[in-house]
Amino acid sequence: MVDWHPVTFSTRIVAETYLPERGSILVRFKNDGVEWEYKNCSLETWKAFTAPGQSRGEFIYDVLDHKPHGKWRG
Q: How far is CA 14 from the centre of its chain?
A: 10
Quick check: helix, strand or coil at residue 52?
coil
Task: Summarize pLDDT for 39-68 with one digit per residue, the tens.
Answer: 999 999 999 999 999 999 999 999 999 999
Q: What is the pTM of this model?
A: 0.94
- pLDDT attached to residue 62: 98
Residue 74 pLDDT more than 90? no
Residue-number span of the structural domain to which 33 is assigned:
5-71
Domain count, the chain: 1
| Residue 56, CA atoms < 13 Å, CB-side half-sphere | 19
Give the H/E segment covering residue 27: strand 24-29
